[in-house]
C-alpha cells in the first residue's frame, strides 16, 4: 500500500504554506513530519484528508493489489492535536455511538471492554462525562476511536504532547503495533520521539517536503542536522 502526495500546493491570502510538496508514503513505516511552528504541518494533514481543499496537486491511494486511485473519505484518518469530542456524552456512550455510525467501515466486531483496555480506561473513566476528562484522557479517547476504525493511513498531530510518561509509553507502543498494516505519519516538536518511533523523517520547510537520511537519526549531530535544514533559506532555482 502506498500514499502518493504529488505537487500539493496551498496558500492563504498571499502566504504560501505548501509549495508543490511531494512524497511517497509506504505501508509498514512510521514517518515523522518535522517543521518549525507555522511551517504548515497541520495544513498539510488537513489537505491530505480533504478538510482543506488544496489549490493544486493530487493525493493518490494505492491499496495492496489494486490500481492507484484518488484518495477518498475513509482512506485517511486524522487524530487532531486538539480533541474534538461531544462533551455531553460519557466515554463509553461516545465509543458505542462512533462504532454504530462507522459499522460499514469496520472489519469484524469490536469488543468494547478490550478497546478500553488498550488505553487503560477504568470502568469509572468510561462512565464519566467527557467534559470531566483531563486533556490527556480526551486525547486517549480520540486515539481509541481511530484504533477501532483502523483507516489505512493514520495522521497524528502532536500525538503525545498531553500525556504523562506512562500514558505516552502506552500510546507509543500502540502506534508501533499498528505499523505493519498501516501508513502512519505524525508531527511532533520532540526530536527524541522522532528518534524512538519513526523509520523516516520528513522535513516541511518553506512549503516543500524533503527527507533526512535515516542513518543520521542516531548520530550525535542529529539535532544539528535538523537545525541546519530548518534554518536554510529557500532557493529561487
pTM over 0.75: yes
In this structure, the number of other CB atoms found within 10 A of the CB of residue 157 comes to: 19
| Antiparallel, parallel or unpaired: β 2-12 and 200-205 | unpaired
Q: Which three cell numbers stand for residue 229?
A: 535544514
**Could you give the CA distance from residue 159 to residue 3 in angstroms, rounded to a whole number?**
21
User: Is-contact 214 201, C-beta < 8 A?
Assistant: yes
DSSP state at residue 90: B
The predicted pLDDT at position 102 comes to 87
Per residue in 197-226, pLDDT (tens digit) is 889 999 999 999 998 887 777 777 778 888
The predicted pLDDT at position 233 comes to 63
CATH of 1-75+154-159+183-237, picked from 3.40.50.300, 3.10.450.30, 3.30.365.10, 1.20.1250.20, is: 3.40.50.300
Q: What is the dihedral sign for C-alpha 12, 25, 71, 107?
A: negative
Domain boundaries, the chain: 1-75+154-159+183-237
Query: Which positions of the chain have pLDDT values less than 50?
Result: 236-237
233 torsion bin: left (phi>0), alpha (psi -120 to 50), beta (else): beta
The predicted pLDDT at position 71 comes to 95
User: Is-contact 224 191, C-beta < 8 A?
Assistant: no
Amino acid at each position: 500500500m502506498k500514499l502518493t502526495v504529488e505537487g500539493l500546493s496551498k496558500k492563504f491570502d498571499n502566504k504560501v504554506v505548501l509549495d508543490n510538496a511531494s512524497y511517497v508514503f509506504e505501508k509498514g513505516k512510521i514517518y515523522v513530519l518535522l517543521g518549525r511552528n507555522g511551517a504548515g504541518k497541520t495544513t498539510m494533514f488537513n489537505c491530505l484528508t480533504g478538510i482543506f481543499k488544496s489549490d493544486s496537486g493530487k493525493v493518490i491511494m494505492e491499496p495492496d493489489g489494486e490500481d492507484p486511485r484518488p484518495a477518498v473519505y475513509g482512506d485517511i484518518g486524522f487524530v487532531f492535536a486538539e480533541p474534538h469530542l461531544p462533551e455531553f456524552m460519557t466515554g463509553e456512550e461516545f465509543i458505542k455511538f462512533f462504532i454504530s455510525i462507522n459499522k460499514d467501515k469496520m472489519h469484524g466486531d469490536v469488543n468494547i471492554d478490550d478497546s478500553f483496555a488498550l488505553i487503560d480506561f477504568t470502568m469509572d473513566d468510561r462512565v464519566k462525562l467527557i467534559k470531566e476528562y483531563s486533556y490527556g484522557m480526551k486525547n486517549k479517547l480520540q486515539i481509541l476511536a481511530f484504533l477501532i476504525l483502523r483507516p489505512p493511513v493514520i495522521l497524528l498531530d502532536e500525538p503525545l504532547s498531553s500525556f504523562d510518561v506512562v500514558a505516552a509509553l502506552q500510546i507509543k507502543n500502540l502506534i508501533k503495533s499498528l505499523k505493519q498494516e498501516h501508513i502512519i505519519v505524525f508531527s511532533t516538536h520532540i526530536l527524541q520521539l522522532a528518534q524512538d518511533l519513526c523509520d523516516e523523517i520528513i522535513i516541511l520547510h518553506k512549503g516543500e517536503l524533503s527527507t533526512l537520511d535515516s542513518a543520521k537519526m542516531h548520530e550525535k549531530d542529529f539535532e544539528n542536522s535538523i537545525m541546519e535544514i530548518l534554518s536554510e533559506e529557500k532557493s529561487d532555482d
